[in-house]
């Protein structure tokens, strides 16, 4: 197969599942004739028609509410927020209805909510947020955050087939990155929700990360390797549930831990992962757990301020050096 981008992998997975299962449909703003804000569903309406590629008013609460109802009736909706930030308009339906229906009365809600997230594209404070920690605290939801084209396809396929509401965090900065173009299997495959992956082996420290921070973490690890310090990089891939066994295995091997995420620090999921490690592997730690995150402000619009706000390869490298010297 020719190499595909991260965003093409999402589109391929979605199209494949729609061809296989007539219960799968897409719903969102401008997804039909226009093909979506980022063109994930370009050409879909010509193949599947307006009954399965449904344009909606600018009303996120209606999109999420309609998806929940359809899922309860046996359909498998894939709903799109044009930007993840706007999910707040449908927050109540998501955390109170979708997340709790199976627990309360056994009603399955097999829906996927696509959430284009993240900064690095100069979108400003209303189009750049990483909001995973809002939902990380909500039992009944599943959260995934792919960092590669392979995982983007595999996790989308798994999400559509799952009988629970899955929030699919797709990072806008990764959409068309040339370094992420890759050959992905033409045949059907999935990436299991809840399973992370070691993408760089190491022994002296481990970076636990996901989504947009995988690339700069890998580059920082390569920089440290030139000094003879081998850093492992663990891509979570799934945030809820996250791969506790893999984390503990890596921590026990490497003994020093850094958690890197683009979301702001206070209340970010890095704090929960840090607490999990402290509670379950404290005796293996040779240094305090380090966190590299965005600072606690809204995302700036100014490109220089946005760069100052976000984690970068340089910031991760400097933090790794400090960790190594501890």
DSSP conformational letter for 211: G
Q: What is the pLDDT of residues 280-292, one digit of tens each?
A: 999 999 999 999 9
**In the chain, which residue ranges form alpha helices assigned H by DSSP?**
6-20, 44-48, 60-72, 91-92, 101-105, 132-136, 149-161, 214-225, 244-254, 269-281, 303-309, 313-325
What does the DSSP 8-state code read for residue 70? H
Residues 284 and 244 in one domain: yes
In a domain, 39, yes or no: yes
Question: For position 101, what pLDDT does the model report?
Answer: 97
Enclosing domain of residue 263: 197-325
**pLDDT of residue 1 exceeding 80:** no
Average pLDDT score over the chain: 97
- Mean pLDDT (whole number) for 15-42: 97
Taking residues 167-175, report their average pLDDT: 98
Residue with token string 């402000």: 297
Q: What is the CATH number of the domain that holds 99?
A: 3.40.50.970
Whole-angstrom distance, CA of residue 202 vs CA of residue 265: 25
Q: What pLDDT score does 186 carry?
A: 83
Computed on alpha carbons and rounded to an integer, the radius of gyration of the chain in Å comes to 20
pLDDT in tens, 259-271: 999 999 999 999 9
Same domain for 154 and 206, yes or no, is no
Identify the active-site residue in 127, 137, 171, 261: 127
91-144 confidence digits (pLDDT tens): 999 999 999 999 999 999 999 999 999 999 999 999 999 999 999 999 999 999
- State whether 162 and 206 are in the same domain: no
Structure-token pair, residue 65: 């509410």
> In the prediction, which pLDDT does 2 show?
83
Condensed to tens digits (0 to 9), the pLDDT of residues 179-223 reads 999 999 988 899 999 999 999 999 999 999 999 999 999 999 999
127 catalytic per annotation:
yes
Whether 192 is covered by a domain: the verdict is no
């Amino acid at each position: 197969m020719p190499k595909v981008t991260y965003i093409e992998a999402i589109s391929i997975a979605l199209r494949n599942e729609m061809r296989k299962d007539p219960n799968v449909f897409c719903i969102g703003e401008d997804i039909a004739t226009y093909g979506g804000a980022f063109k994930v569903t370009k050409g879909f309406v010509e193949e599947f028609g307006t009954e399965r590629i449904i344009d909606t008013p600018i009303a996120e609460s209606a999109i999420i509410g309609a998806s929940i109802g359809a899922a309860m009736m046996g359909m498998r909706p894939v709903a799109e927020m044009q930007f993840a930030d706007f999910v707040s308009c449908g927050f109540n339906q998501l955390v109170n209805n979708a997340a709790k229906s199976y627990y309360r009365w056994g009603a399955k809600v097999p829906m996927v909510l696509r959430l284009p997230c993240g900064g690095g594209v100069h979108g400003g404070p209303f189009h750049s947020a990483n909001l995973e920690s809002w939902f990380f605290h909500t039992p009944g939801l599943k959260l995934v955050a792919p960092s590669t084209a392979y995982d983007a396809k595999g996790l989308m396929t798994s999400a559509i087939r799952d009988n629970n509401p899955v929030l699919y965090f797709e990072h806008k900065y990764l959409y068309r990155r040339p370094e992420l173009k890759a050959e992905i299997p033409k045949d059907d495959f999935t990436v299991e929700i809840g399973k992370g992956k070691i993408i760089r082996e190491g022994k002296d420290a481990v970076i636990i990360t996901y989504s947009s921070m995988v690339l700069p973490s890998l580059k920082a690890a390569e920089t440290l390797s030139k000094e003879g310090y081998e850093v492992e990089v663990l891509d979570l891939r799934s945030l809820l549930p996250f791969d506790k066994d893999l984390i503990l295995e890596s921590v026990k091997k490497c003994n020093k831990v850094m958690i890197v995420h683009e979301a702001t620090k206070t209340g970010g999921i890095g704090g929960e992962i840090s607490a999990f490690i402290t509670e379950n592997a404290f005796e293996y730690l040779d240094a305090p757990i380090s966190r590299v995150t965005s600072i606690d402000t809204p995302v700036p619009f100014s490109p220089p301020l946005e760069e100052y706000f976000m984690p970068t390869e340089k910031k991760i490298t400097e933090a790794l050096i400090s960790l190594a010297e501890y």
